[in-house]
Structure formats: structure tokens, C-alpha cells
């Protein structure tokens, strides 16, 4: 997909528009659900943290943390996707390439079989995601750097291995809460997530977001190829480690609270590039905002479509998002 070239003022205007849409998405996300809330109620509650009224309580205890987690998951996965696509110069790469999500899924499946309590699952998922990504990076290590080909091979292979283990657990486990729990995790969901999960996932995600933004100039140089980036004084090995490390941190923070939410990390970088061009200094912030908006909106839709049932977030994103994206991509090409 060809990305456009934009003037700085137009890029700034696009970022401002995205920021406004983000606030709007948060408000809509907080208002939608089994009990809908009007915008005034949301605005009032936002100004009175944990206020006395029942509405304030519901919003602060349930809705606000949930929409913020959705924003965090969207921003983190999109940034991780953009970082890896930039480093590997491959638009088909998604953040799950590091094996983080497959490792987390496998660990969650095993944890559920072992009967671990639900509140522990995000921590289990996070540790497994980071461990798997570290292992994949170690396998891809060559000399002092990381080989792109080895990273893809190691990530894809380990992901296949873990997916096999998860399927095995699903086949062997009797139909029970365990297999349903695994399936729910694989489908991606933010149900039941609150401030506790948000606070520590946000801590890791913010470190990842900061590192991602600091890597923007290096990412721009890497577009020219590793050799040319090196000739421009970029420490390419260090940049590769920084990119893989922050992508792993962002992905782990996201999957630990949301399960498998596919599509976002692959597609949002393409959308961001179309909006502001491929200069990472503009593209990364646009990516974070667009990803956050997309997941907040999708989560709201997952609650609003067939209440009181919540549709799996990852499944919904794939079902609605992929056809929309294909239409945009191929319609544009045909035009």
C-alpha cells in the first residue's frame, strides 16, 4: 500500500484530529454498555473521581479503566507493529512475530489447566510473553546484532510450537471452564479488567512507548537499509535490540491484559502511514492514537452489538476490520 506524502502542517492537523477523535472514542467507549450513559454524565463523572453517585462509581470502577486498557492495548500493539515493520522493512510483519502472544497463550492455557486463579493470569501472560520474546531474540542473535531473517524464522517457529501446545491442551482438556477460559483468551477480551491490571500494564507500556518514540530517528535511518543507516552513524545493532526490546515489552503489556487481539498491530501502521507518511517522527504518534481509537471503538462495539453478551474483541476486530481494510487497500489500487 503506497503511503502519501504530507506537508508538516497537514501532518500536525492530522495528529490533532486524531487526538480529538481519541477523546471522543474514550467518551463513547465509557458511555456504551449494558447500561448506557449520556455524555453529560460521563463528563461530570470524569471531573469527580470516585464521586458519591452510583453513576460515578460504575464509570470509575468499571468503564474508565476498561476504555483506558483498550486504548493502551491498541496503542501498544500498533506501535510494536510499526517498530518491527520498520526494522524488518516488511509490511507483513505484526507484533506477534516475536512469539510473545503465542508464548503467553501457551502459558495461560497451562495455568488454567493447573487451576491458577484468574487474577494471576495477566502476570503469567506477561512473564511468558517477555520470556518467549527474549528467547526468540537470543535465537536471532548474530555477533552483536539481530538478524532479521533469523528473527522471523525463530518467531514463526516458536509461535507454531506454542499454538500446537495450546491446541493439544484444548483437545485433551474436557469441555469445561478451562477450555472455555483458553478460548476466551484466544478470542481476546477486556471483560473484567480494572485499575489493578491497567496500572502495571501501563507502567510497562509507557516505558515501551517512550523507547519507541526515542527510536524514531533510528527507525527513519533504517528505512534506507542497514548499511546506509550504519554509514550515517547509527549504531544499527543497538537500534535493533532497542526495537525488538520495546516491541516485546509493548506486546507483552498488551496481550497480558487483553489476550490475543490480532489485526491491530498489522494494519494500523499501514493506516498511520497513509495518514501522515512514513516519517517515524509523525507516523509513530499517529499509529499510537489510531490504534487506541480502533480498539476503544471495537471494544465499545463488542459490548453494544448483542447486549448483554460481549463478543470477543479480537474476533470482532478481524471480522469487521479486515474486510474494511481490504476494501480500502484494493479499492485504492483499482482506482
Return residues touching other proteins (CB under 8 A).
2-5, 7, 89, 214, 216-218, 220-221, 223-225, 227-228, 230-235, 273, 277-279, 281
Residue among 257 and 272 whose Cβ is closer to other proteins? 272
Report how far residue 77's alpha carbon sits from residue 255's, in angstroms, rounded to the nearest whole number. 9
Minimum CB separation of residue 119 from other proteins in Å reads 39
The set of cell numbers assigned to 178 is 478451562
Under 8 Å between Cβ of 295 and 74: yes
Minimum CB separation of residue 36 from other proteins in Å reads 40
The total number of residues shown for the chain amounts to 335
| 146 bridge partner residues | 141
Residue among 9 and 47 whose Cβ is closer to other proteins? 9
Residue among 239 and 295 whose Cβ is closer to other proteins? 239
Residue among 81 and 103 whose Cβ is closer to other proteins? 81
Residue among 4 and 119 whose Cβ is closer to other proteins? 4
Cα 72 to Cα 150, 152, 206, distances in angstroms: 29, 26, 9
Under 8 Å between Cβ of 219 and 86: yes
Q: 14 Cβ partners below 8 Å, 6+ apart?
A: 6, 275, 276, 286
Report how far residue 113's alpha carbon sits from residue 257's, in angstroms, rounded to the nearest whole number. 19
DSSP 278-334: S-HHHHHHHHHHHHHHHHHHHHHHHHHSSTTSPPPHHHHIIIIIHHHHHHHHHHHHH
Minimum CB separation of residue 149 from other proteins in Å reads 17
Minimum CB separation of residue 214 from other proteins in Å reads 6
Minimum CB separation of residue 1 from other proteins in Å reads 8
Residue among 242 and 259 whose Cβ is closer to other proteins? 242
Residue among 48 and 89 whose Cβ is closer to other proteins? 89
Angle at 29 between CA 315 and CA 59, to 5 degrees: 125
Amino acid at each position: 500500500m503506497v503511503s502519501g506524502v504530507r506537508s508538516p502542517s497537514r501532518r500536525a492537523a492530522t495528529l490533532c484530529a486524531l487526538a480529538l477523535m481519541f477523546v471522543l472514542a474514550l467518551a463513547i467507549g465509557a458511555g456504551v454498555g449494558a447500561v448506557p450513559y449520556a455524555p453529560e454524565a460521563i463528563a461530570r463523572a470524569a471531573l469527580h473521581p470516585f464521586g458519591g453517585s452510583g453513576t460515578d462509581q460504575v464509570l470509575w470502577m468499571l468503564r474508565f479503566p476498561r476504555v483506558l486498557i483498550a486504548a493502551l492495548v491498541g496503542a501498544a500493539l500498533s506501535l510494536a507493529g510499526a517498530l518491527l515493520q520498520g526494522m524488518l522493512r516488511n509490511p507483513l510483519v505484526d507484533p506477534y512475530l516475536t512469539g510473545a502472544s503465542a508464548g503467553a497463550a501457551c502459558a495461560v492455557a497451562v495455568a488454567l489447566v493447573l487451576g491458577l486463579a484468574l487474577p494471576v493470569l495477566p502476570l503469567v501472560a506477561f512473564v511468558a510473553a517477555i520470556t518467549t520474546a527474549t528467547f526468540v531474540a537470543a535465537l536471532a542473535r548474530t555477533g552483536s546484532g539481530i538478524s532479521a531473517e533469523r528473527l522471523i524464522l525463530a518467531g514463526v517457529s516458536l509461535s507454531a510450537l506454542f499454538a500446537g501446545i495450546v491446541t493439544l491442551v484444548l483437545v485433551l482438556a474436557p469441555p469445561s471452564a478451562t477450555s472455555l477460559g483458553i478460548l476466551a483468551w484466544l478470542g481476546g477480551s477486556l471483560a473484567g479488567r480494572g485499575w489493578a491490571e491497567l496500572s502495571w500494564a501501563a507502567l510497562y507500556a509507557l516505558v515501551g512507548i517512550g523507547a519507541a518514540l526515542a527510536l524514531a530517528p533510528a527507525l527513519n535511518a533504517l528505512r534506507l537499509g542497514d548499511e546506509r543507516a550504519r554509514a550515517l552513524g547509527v549504531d544499527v545493532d543497538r537500534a535493533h535490540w532497542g526495537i525488538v526490546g520495546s516491541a516485546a515489552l509493548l506486546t507483552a503489556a498488551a496481550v497480558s491484559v487483553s489476550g490475543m487481539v490480532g489485526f491491530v498491530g498489522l494494519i494500523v501502521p499501514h493506516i498511520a502511514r497513509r495518514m501522515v507518511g512514513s516519517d517515524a517522527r509523525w507516523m509513530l504518534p499517529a499509529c499510537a492514537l489510531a490504534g487506541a481509537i480502533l480498539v476503544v471503538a471495537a471494544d465499545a462495539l463488542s459490548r453494544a452489538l448483542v447486549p448483554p453478551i460481549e463478543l470477543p474483541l479480537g474476533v470482532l476486530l478481524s471480522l469487521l476490520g479486515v474486510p474494511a481494510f481490504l476494501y480500502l487497500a484494493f479499492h485504492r489500487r483499482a482506482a
